[in-house]
Amino acid sequence: MSINLEQFSKYSKPGPRYTSYPTALEFNEEFKYEDYINFLKEGKEKLSLYVHLPFCRSACYFCGCNVVFTSKHSKMSRYIEYLKKEIDILATTIDTNREIVQFHFGGGTPTYYSANELDFIMTHLKSKFPNWSKDAEISVEIDPRFFNKEHMEIFKKHGFNRVSFGVQDFDERVQEAVHRIQGFKQTKDAVDLAREYGVESINIDLIYGLPYQSLESFKKTLEKIKELNPNRVAVFNYAHVPWLKKTMRKFDETTLPSPGEKLKIFKYTIDFFTNNGYKMIGMDHFAKPDDELFGAISKGELHRNFQGYTTKGGANLIGIGLTSIGEGKRYYAQNTKDMKVYEEKIDKGLLPFERGVVLDDDDFIRKAVIMELMANFSIDIKRVEKELGIDFKEYFEKDLEKLKEFVDEGLVKIDDKKIEVSETGALLIRNIAMAFDAYMQKYIGNKKSFSKTV
Ligand SMILES: C[S@@+](CC[C@H](N)C(=O)[O-])C[C@H]1O[C@@H](n2cnc3c(N)ncnc32)[C@H](O)[C@@H]1O
Ligand code: SF4
């Protein structure tokens, strides 16, 4: 790929991560519980269910996820009881015949639970929500350090066709610094086990920007990943937010690679995967031709939601469990992050909804445009005009002006029919998408809310 590193570093500025939701719009308290319930009751779209299992045995110091560290199994069992009750409340609120096209177990470490416990959750969920699409995407995040054959039996029983393994980096020095010792053999055994059970798509998560990482050390990790031959790889830019996550203060910041080294690592990673049969998908994923994301990008069918890139756009995402985020056509909703409050709400027969945001017409239009840009690196102006009922250039007159510097640098091309982002521009997609974000101005000056885009 022809990537201009100079341009890349010049334009890469801090910004919102755009992983959970597509603009810097903020969740607020104005979105009331009753409004959320109405959205759930009235929704007709197909369903995407996300169940959060927040527990982990010990902290990986880089972790930015919503995690509860515990060695007490009683705490984890208690959570399952509440999860069961939450599913029951949800089933009395929503039309349970809506078709489920996507399911995801996220964490934390879902496989820190035993196979029997995961079986119990799935069986209960299916008893309340029976209408699963034949080609539903059913996935789970797995930490290879906590994974065995019994887990895989249960995943097979319930039709799991995608698994995602956390690796991050195989370098021993990096692993020691981030408090996550995970051998290559242990990881290979986990990948082989999933393959043996016929899992269609195996993903591996890597992070660049961790302590002690260098281009030379990361090259070795990439060779090992090649040997594992995953269908998909996610290469996340390390989001360092020690003011939000205390464990990130546990390593020496001076051991973090410099922005220049990070750029070299990222550029090398892109070349490595594209030279080894993968296509770059969106801003941080790579997929092999046998993965459905690969075909989706050329057909313009790629979408980005809270769970990452997917071909199942338009489904109503329902977040179940502590901290989970849900997404409807016109809203985002988040469950409480506080276990005590979670239990109290459920004891009262309420869903654990805490806050969210309702999208007005302008938010809705901007979300559609930002999502399209982030997924496909282009905007089909005529199609967007037809679907959203706007005159694109008139509606986004001011926003298009903000894109001018990218156009002048050849990173973005605009004509009457299309906006197209160049290969280097694709790496800057978050910065380019910010031009359409009505909430950016409010955020500028509050850089601590952001992690760096590179
Ligand atoms: C919930 S975790 C993965 C599941 C499992 N607990 C594990 O660690 O294998 C999801 C992924 O988020 C990514 N991640 C976590 N913290 C991050 C951070 N601060 N910056 C970038 N990516 C991060 C990691 O790649 C991780 O595998
Ligand atoms: S990276 Fe995974 S295992 Fe490590 S603390 Fe985060 S969620 Fe837990």
pLDDT for 120 equals 98
- Tell me the per-residue pLDDT of 202-222, one tens digit each, with 9 for 90 and over: 999 999 999 999 999 999 999
Q: Measure 20 CA to ligand 2 centroid, in angstroms.
A: 18
Question: What's the rounded Cα separation, in Å, for the pair 414 and 67?
Answer: 43
Q: Please tell me the distance between residue 108's alpha carbon and the centre of ligand 2 in angstroms.
A: 6
Give the pLDDT score at 15: 46
At residue 19, the pLDDT reads 44
Q: What is the DSSP string of 226-269?
A: HHH--SEEEEEEP---TTT-GGGGGS-GGGSPPHHHHHHHHHHH
> Does 24-318 match 360-454 in CATH topology?
no
- 202: Cβ below 6 Å to ligand 2? no
| Atom of ligand 1 at shortest range from CA of 144 | 9
- Long-range pairs, 38-44, Cβ under 8 A, ≥24: 39/328, 39/330, 39/331, 39/333, 40/90, 40/93, 40/94, 40/318, 41/93, 41/94, 41/95, 43/94, 43/95, 43/98, 43/316, 43/328, 44/95, 44/98
Gap from CA of 202 to ligand 2 centroid (Å): 18
CA 159 to centroid of ligand 1, rounded, Å = 24
What pLDDT sits at residue 18? 40
Tokens at 238, concatenated: 């390390």
Domain parsing of the chain, residue ranges: 24-318, 360-454
Closest Cα to atom 15 of ligand 1: 63
Judge contact between 351 and 90, C-beta under 8 A: yes
Residue 204: strand, helix, or coil? strand
Tokens of 58: 């010990």
Architecture of domain 24-318: Alpha-Beta Horseshoe (3.80)
Pocket test for ligand 2, best of 53, 63, 145 (most atoms within 8 A of CB): 63
- Lookup: tokens for 409: 């640098």
Q: What is the largest CA-CA distance in the chain?
A: 61
Ligand 2 centroid from CA 224, angstroms: 21
pLDDT value at residue 17: 44
pLDDT by residue, tens only, the chain of 454 residues? 555 656 655 655 544 444 444 556 778 888 999 999 999 999 999 999 999 999 999 999 999 998 999 999 999 999 999 999 999 999 999 999 999 999 999 999 999 999 999 999 999 999 999 999 999 999 999 999 999 999 999 999 999 999 999 999 999 999 999 999 999 999 999 999 999 999 999 999 999 999 999 999 999 999 999 999 999 999 999 989 999 899 999 999 999 999 889 989 998 999 999 999 999 887 788 999 988 888 777 676 777 666 667 776 789 999 999 999 999 989 999 999 999 999 999 999 999 999 999 999 998 899 889 888 888 889 999 999 999 999 999 999 999 999 998 999 999 999 999 999 998 888 888 888 888 988 776 655 444 444 455 4
The 10s digit of each residue's pLDDT in 94-148 is: 999 999 999 999 999 999 999 999 999 999 999 999 999 999 999 999 999 999 9
Could you give the CA distance from residue 239 to residue 336 in angstroms, rounded to a whole number? 23
pLDDT of 74? 97
Q: Which CATH number fits domain 360-454: 1.10.10.920, 3.40.250.10, 1.10.10.10, 3.90.79.10?
A: 1.10.10.920
Instruction: Reply yes or no: is the peptide bond before residue 108 cis, omega within 30 of 0.
Output: yes
How far is residue 367's CA from residue 196's CA, in Å, rounded to a whole number? 40
pLDDT for residue 443 = 56
For residue 20, give the nearest of 327, 277, 411 by alpha carbon.
327
Instruction: Give the position, in ligand 2's atom list, of the atom nearest the Cα of 58.
Output: 5
> What letter would DSSP give residue 282?
T
